[in-house]
Structure 1
């Protein structure tokens, strides 16, 4: 088997046992609340990771691209939610997947999108759709009490499409500060989704699906009455943003980028690596938090963190490591040629820079498996 010290750097590594523990934690929580999980595979974009989510068998999933939907369909998945507002020109690919026996559900928040699902345009009856509901002003969606909600529902009915339900995403929860704020975000998400569903039902629509979810709210919801499913994706790996708002600890981070030390600048207090933003992404999500982790924390090849050492800056193929501002910790004596691991701010963005995961187990440098990632749109 390959050793972590033998793989060409930079590369992505994942601790399988930590992934499994993260999955088990969320599943236990949702089981206790009596709600099913429809995991979002946009973080991992990996069939191998998805198999861990449903005990080795295909289960319901959420995707962010049709390329993901197509790849997971090839792997036997038949219950797929495409949770990005549908662009009408993509409906041909949606129809092709549904003709393969995939129950592919689309997302929309406008009358124009609803009209595009009409049978005479798509050539296929009953394309199912969820209406996106805006619960916190983060991105898309219609307000749960906006009259346009009923107009969209009626447009779907008139066109022969299938109004399957409603969906919310509490995106602002990623900026919550503290347990109380996270619990409030989860309850607001639930309340908005249920209100939208009840409004549609009162107008005569069947609304079997009430879908909510984000990694923060999934872990802090205390009541999911009226909700049929929870979506979350980041939780499989977690990251420093999630640790920064208290959803996990640094020990729960399953993914890191392995880089090699290629230079030292004692005059500047720098250690240089061969892993720049092409390896870690430019995401600086912790910059808004109480503790700014720059481009990521730094650990040795076995995962032990260096005291106050950050990946403080990056160019395309160079990483700069230095001591956290204000710290009196010494710059560690890491020799040229040594390997270090960068713990990322945003797992989704960092994983997107790579085409595979090198899978390890705790305390081992042996690569146990290679998991491939799905790319493209």
Structure 2
């Protein structure tokens, strides 16, 4: 566009994913400083990023440590030289050969499980292949999802003993119910409950003569609001690196911390309804409407100018597959911005993981405010 700023955005095909490198670095620095004060190691979760370039910013070193949520991620990061990884999703026996293939590349990939059945499958595979797979027992911090109850000593010990052909490495927890909170005191309490459950499970295993060197906890909200992590050895968290509107609603990040936006182009107007139409529909933004359950419903995303500054009360109010409908929030007294056809806007996503999954690369905005570097990212399982 004539007279457009020299920010590199007009050279990009839209819709596409923009990543603010400075914000990513700042988010990581804050988390590291917080966890350093609490005396625990940081094992970044790479399920949001799915990018080796981002991983290298997040990890303590080029070999890790790291957390992954898919074996595709494990394979990709192993190819990039990452050696210390936890696959933090319950292992399906049919996936053990893929785990073994990653390990044969030199990566120490550990698996997660929460049943004797899984433990027996892991042990049998380990004995067949002469590779004692490291395994962590998933413990249920809050009833959110998978895991053994922390007070179920019988189940914990039975699983640990069923790993006789493998290598029990410790316990792993994820306080997923923290995502439904927003009060700082409630979030701090959730973090303490996660810590206490982890320590209880680890104590049970050790009292039975079983090893438990790793006590791993983590979610972005509990990592952010934890005040004491005594007995914990490491924290896993990931979405905080990018931030999103859902996490801003929780209070785990500020809107100004959000590093991920979708670049879109205005393609039309409906002046009778006060709509501005862009080329970024739900295929670009994802269908995630998680903020609809929060105090502030952000639609499909908050609309910003090309520098990433939010327009007052302008959201993606609705979306079709390839059309985004921008409108002012109901009841707003703000003025609809003058955005002619061809204008570029940036949209803050509800859920960074879901929005990122719609794209194959990041266009990176550097310290000079220009989009230059392209960082590949992966998808799939």
**TM-score band, normalised by shorter chain:** over 0.9
Aligned to 1:226: 231
Matches within 5 A, 1:311-350: 311-350=316-355
Aligned to 2:172: 167
Aligned to 2:38: 33
Aligned to 2:85: 80
Cα root mean square deviation, aligned: 1.4
- Is 2:148 the counterpart of 1:142? yes
Aligned to 1:352: 357
TM-score between both structures, scaled by the size of structure 1: 0.97
Given the alignment, which residue of 374, 378, 381 partners 1:374?
378
Question: Deviating runs (4+, > 6 A) in structure 1?
Answer: none
- Is 2:217 the counterpart of 1:212? yes
* Counterpart-to-counterpart distance in 2, 1:194 and 1:331: 53
Asked if the contact 2:43–2:59 (Cα under 8 Å) also holds between the matched residues in 1, the reply is no
Aligned to 2:300: 295
1:189–1:122: structure 2 CA closer, same or farther, 3 Å change rule? farther
Asked if the contact 2:240–2:252 (Cα under 8 Å) also holds between the matched residues in 1, the reply is no
Following TM superposition, by how much is the alpha carbon of 1:241 offset from its aligned partner in structure 2, in angstroms? Answer: 0.9
1:9–1:150: structure 2 CA closer, same or farther, 3 Å change rule? same
Following TM superposition, by how much is the alpha carbon of 1:111 offset from its aligned partner in structure 2, in angstroms? Answer: 1.0
TM-score between both structures, scaled by the size of structure 2: 0.96
1:135 alignment partner, SS class: coil
Asked if the contact 2:59–2:66 (Cα under 8 Å) also holds between the matched residues in 1, the reply is no
Asked if the contact 1:119–1:125 (Cα under 8 Å) also holds between the matched residues in 2, the reply is no
Following TM superposition, by how much is the alpha carbon of 1:235 offset from its aligned partner in structure 2, in angstroms? Answer: 1.1
1:122–1:370: structure 2 CA closer, same or farther, 3 Å change rule? farther
Matches within 5 A, 1:181-196: 181-196=186-201
Asked if the contact 2:44–2:59 (Cα under 8 Å) also holds between the matched residues in 1, the reply is no
- Is 2:160 the counterpart of 1:153? yes
Deviations 1:241-268 (A, max 9, x none): 1111211211100010000011100111
Following TM superposition, by how much is the alpha carbon of 1:54 offset from its aligned partner in structure 2, in angstroms? Answer: 3.1
Deviations 1:179-218 (A, max 9, x none): 0011011001100011001011111101000000001111
Following TM superposition, by how much is the alpha carbon of 1:145 offset from its aligned partner in structure 2, in angstroms? Answer: 1.2
- Is 2:72 the counterpart of 1:67? yes
Asked if the contact 1:144–1:195 (Cα under 8 Å) also holds between the matched residues in 2, the reply is yes
Following TM superposition, by how much is the alpha carbon of 1:56 offset from its aligned partner in structure 2, in angstroms? Answer: 5.8
Given the alignment, which residue of 51, 64, 68 partners 1:46?
51
* Counterpart-to-counterpart distance in 1, 2:367 and 2:255: 14
Aligned to 2:117: 112
Asked if the contact 1:16–1:360 (Cα under 8 Å) also holds between the matched residues in 2, the reply is yes
Following TM superposition, by how much is the alpha carbon of 1:362 offset from its aligned partner in structure 2, in angstroms? Answer: 5.2
Deviations 1:13-50 (A, max 9, x none): 01101100000000000011110000000000000001
Aligned to 1:253: 258
Asked if the contact 2:17–2:261 (Cα under 8 Å) also holds between the matched residues in 1, the reply is yes
1:26–1:332: structure 2 CA closer, same or farther, 3 Å change rule? same
Asked if the contact 2:8–2:372 (Cα under 8 Å) also holds between the matched residues in 1, the reply is no
Following TM superposition, by how much is the alpha carbon of 1:269 offset from its aligned partner in structure 2, in angstroms? Answer: 1.2
Structure 2: gaps of 5 or more residues:
1-5
- Is 2:107 the counterpart of 1:102? yes
Following TM superposition, by how much is the alpha carbon of 1:151 offset from its aligned partner in structure 2, in angstroms? Answer: 1.0
